[in-house]
Structure 1
Amino acid sequence: MSKRWTLGALAVLLLACSGFAAAQAGTVSVTVQVRDAAGQPLAHAVVQLDSPAAANASRAGSPRRIVQRQRRFEPDQSVVTVGTAISFPNQDTVRHHVYSFSPAKRFELQLYTGTPATPVVFDRPGVVVLGCNIHDEMLAWVHVVRTPHFGQTGPDGQIVLNGVPLGVYEIGVWHRRLPEGVVVPRPSLRVLASTPTQVVTLNTLSAP
């Protein structure tokens, strides 16, 4: 038996053992693929696994920043857990008036430069749309979740959620190109030691 084959076999064995150990410990990885109605992968889709146990395990995240630079919000899309505080530094030379009228978080930071003294705490789950009352072209989204099992899809439309305890969840998926007012079904998922890739299709609007 060659040394190369031995090392390769050992690597496969270690990988298999690590997956088995995670399953034995009660956690696994869950892969979700998000596509549009034409079957194309959707990047930047927010995916979350919700359950009563997940809600109880959710904690506020580390403080975050959404910077205003060149009359844009950076980043223009964030996902945070309930209770996370976000500051809004204005690095432009013009003043901004940041606000949201979304039910999940209504607030206003009236005309200012620099960094407001008090960050905004996002204390309810839901989608929060941010705008600037002076520059209408400025838009951003904060998706607030009450679960530790969440993420955003990559260019291939996939997200791998690691460390998910075995159990029953609802899969929540959101994309900012969804038509306003559309309610996306939340399929039930039983997470087992071996859980196949979950495929979710969204009827999104065309990219601008």
Structure 2
Amino acid sequence: MYNKLQYISQGNTVEEQLKNIHQALDNGCKWVQVRFKNHFSDDAFTLAEAVKILCEEYLANFIMNDNVYLAQQIAADGVHLGLDDMSISEARSILGDTKIIGATANTFEDIQNHIQNGCDYIGLGPLKFTTTKENLSPILGLKGYHNIITKMQENGLTTPVYAIGGITLEDIEPLMQTGIYGVAISGLITQATNKKKIIKQLKNNLHGNIIV
């Protein structure tokens, strides 16, 4: 089974990214999605190479955001594809059957298409407005998650769904009640002064042990 908590990396430089990822791993995260867009390929390779070593050390999953060829080159555990990225089937033909392929969705139709094309998990969002992502898709809110997950259940679709987009600690319990599998967190962990505490609280809330 997949980890219920994903950390999506932040940082404008290789050094910032590595610091944030190392701190997330050191304080209990076991799944890292490296998001490092609009940077030189040499920098992306340097970062990916270092993160792979870190994730091996911490026994964590390492997923590369949208860069399929880099994920293949670095032997990452998988890749996460946005709605405008390479198709799942093409990514699968490059990476093979053993790698994890996640895909971003904003609607039930997106999810149907992704599952038909063979994705392993869905990143569904955004829950709220977030500055982390440019060209944000329409905001779903809790009602949107409930409606989409209900449609999935009615259609017998069981692929794990992660909520994403501006999520706070207080959102976890109501989100889990919609039937999602887990959450993908970026800013909340990156900006936390006490990362160990926030990651522990997130994990507790994700597993139903609510700590206010």
**TM-score, L = length of structure 1:** 0.26
Larger Rg: 1
Q: Which has the higher contact order (CA 8 A, sep 6+)?
A: 1
Structure with the higher fraction of residues in strand conformation: 1
